[in-house]
C-alpha cells in the first residue's frame, strides 16, 4: 500500500477510482463503498485511492472530542487488508475546513491526476460546513469529466450502519452488536504496565493496560469477555473497565485484563484487546471472598460464551 500525506507526492494513473471520507471504524457501510471502489478499479484496470483526513474533522470544527473507533494507523491497516492500493491522508485544519467543495476537488483531487470515477456513500457531504451534497458532486463530475457513483446504505436488522450508531452501542456496552456493524470486534491497542498486583492475591492476575491512543472511545464501564492478541498468540480473558470501587482507588479509570490459560510475563508488551460480550456492571463487594466468587462466575460466563460462539 502507498500512504502519502500530500497531493504533491501523488501521481494518479490513467484510470483512478477515488473515494473520499473519514472512514472512522471502517465499518460494514464503509466496506461496501471500499469494495465497490476495488471492484470498479478492477473493471477499469485502474487503481484504488482513498482520500481521508486526520485529525477527525469534527474535532477541528468545534464539536469537541469525538471518541474514535479507529486511529489513523488502524484505519489504514484495515484498508490495506481489504486491498486498497493508495491512501492519501490530508491534514484537516481550520483553514482546510474553509475550502468550498470546488476548491477541495480542484486542490486535492483533480490536481496531477486523471480521475475516472468517484464513489461515495448515500449520505456524502463535503466542502465548507459540509454544505455540498451528491448533486453538487455530480456537477463537479461533469465539469472535470469523472463519473459519480453512490453506494446505498448498509442495514443490519433494519438499522442503517453508521459510526455514530456504533459509538452509541459501545457507550451502552453492546459490544457484540457493535461487532456486527463493524465487521469485527471493537478493539483497543495498548501496552501492559505495572499495577499493584492485587489481582494475583485474588487468584486472578491482571494486566493493566495503557492505551496507545487517548482519542479512542472506551466502552461502557464494567466487566467484559474479551480476546487478547499478544505476540502472534490469542487468548480468551475478561476485562474490567472502571474505578475499582471495592478498593476505593480514587477517580482514575483502570483497564485490567485477566487472560485465561496464560503463563508468563506481560509487562511492557504490546497487546490488542477485542471486546466480545458485556458481562456485568462494576460493583462494590463487601468481602474479598464475595469478589473471588464473582470473578469465578464471570470467568465461567466468558468461557461458556466463547465456547458457544466457537471463538478460538
pLDDT at site 98: 92
The fold adopted by the segment(s) 185-308 is Elongation Factor Tu (Ef-tu); domain 3 (2.40.30)
Tell me which H or E stretch contains 28.
helix 28-44
Given the C-alpha cell 465539469, which residue does it identify? 143
Delimit the domains of the chain by residue range.
2-159, 185-308
Name the pairing type of β-strands 207-211 and 254-259: antiparallel
Considering 4-18, 58-72, 131-145, 224-238, the range whose residues carry the highest mean pLDDT is 224-238
| 187-227: pLDDT as tens digits | 999 999 987 667 666 778 889 999 999 999 999 999 999 99
CATH architecture assigned to 2-159: 3-Layer(aba) Sandwich (3.40)
Number of neighbours of residue 135 by Cβ within 10 angstroms? 8
What local confidence, expressed as pLDDT, does residue 59 receive?
Answer: 87
pLDDT of residue 74: 97
Burial of 210 (0-12, 13-18, 19+ CB in 10 A): exposed
Q: Is the previous residue joined to 103 through a cis bond, with omega within 30 degrees of 0? A: no
pLDDT of residue 249: 65
In the predicted structure, residue 245 carries a pLDDT above the cut 90:
no
How far is it, in rounded angstroms, from Cα 286 to Cα 247?
10
pLDDT > 90? residue 79: yes
Q: Which tens digit of pLDDT belongs to each residue from 145-160? A: 999 999 999 999 999 9
Crossing angle (nearest 10°) for helices 28-44 and 175-182? 10
What 3-state class would DSSP assign to 84?
Answer: coil
Strand order in the sheet with 147-151: 2-4, 86-91, 47-54, 16-20, 115-121, 147-151
CA angle 208, 215, 132 (to 5 degrees): 160
Amino acid at each position: 500500500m502507498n500512504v502519502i500525506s500530500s497531493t504533491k507526492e501523488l501521481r494518479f494513473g490513467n484510470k483512478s477510482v477515488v473515494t473520499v471520507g473519514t472512514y472512522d471504524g471502517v465499518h460494514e457501510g464503509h466496506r461496501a463503498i471500499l469494495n465497490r471502489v476495488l471492484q470498479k478499479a478492477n473493471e477499469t484496470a485502474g487503481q484504488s485511492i482513498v482520500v481521508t483526513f486526520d485529525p477527525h474533522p469534527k474535532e477541528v470544527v468545534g464539536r469537541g472530542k469525538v471518541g474514535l473507533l479507529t486511529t489513523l494507523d488502524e484505519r489504514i491497516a484495515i484498508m490495506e487488508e481489504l486491498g486498497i492500493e493508495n491512501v492519501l491522508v490530508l491534514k484537516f485544519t481550520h483553514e482546510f475546513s474553509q475550502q468550498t467543495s470546488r476548491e477541495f476537488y480542484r486542490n486535492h483531487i483533480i490536481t496531477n491526476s486523471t480521475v475516472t470515477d468517484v464513489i461515495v456513500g448515500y449520505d456524502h457531504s463535503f466542502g465548507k460546513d459540509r454544505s455540498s451534497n451528491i448533486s453538487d458532486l455530480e456537477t463537479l463530475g461533469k465539469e472535470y469529466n469523472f463519473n459519480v457513483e453512490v453506494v446505498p446504505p448498509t442495514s443490519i436488522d433494519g438499522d442503517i450502519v453508521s459510526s455514530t450508531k456504533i459509538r452509541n452501542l459501545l457507550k451502552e456496552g453492546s459490544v457484540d452488536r457493535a461487532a456486527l456493524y463493524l465487521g469485527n470486534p471493537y478493539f483497543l491497542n495498548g501496552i501492559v504496565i505495572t499495577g499493584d498486583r492485587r489481582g494475583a492475591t485474588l487468584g486472578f492476575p491482571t494486566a493493566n493496560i495503557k492505551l496507545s491512543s487517548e482519542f479512542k472511545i472506551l466502552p461502557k464501564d464494567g466487566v467484559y469477555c474479551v480476546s487478547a492478541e499478544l505476540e502472534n498468540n490469542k487468548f480468551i480473558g475478561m476485562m474490567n473497565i472502571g474505578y475499582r470501587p471495592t478498593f476505593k482507588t480514587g477517580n482514575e479509570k483502570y483497564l485490567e485484563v485477566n487472560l485465561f490459560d496464560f503463563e508468563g510475563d506481560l509487562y511492557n508488551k504490546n497487546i490488542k484487546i477485542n471486546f466480545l460480550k458485556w458481562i456485568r456492571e462494576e460493583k462494590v463487594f463487601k468481602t474479598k471472598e464475595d469478589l473471588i466468587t464473582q470473578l469465578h462466575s464471570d470467568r465461567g460466563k466468558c468461557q461458556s460464551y466463547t465456547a458457544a460462539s466457537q471463538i478460538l
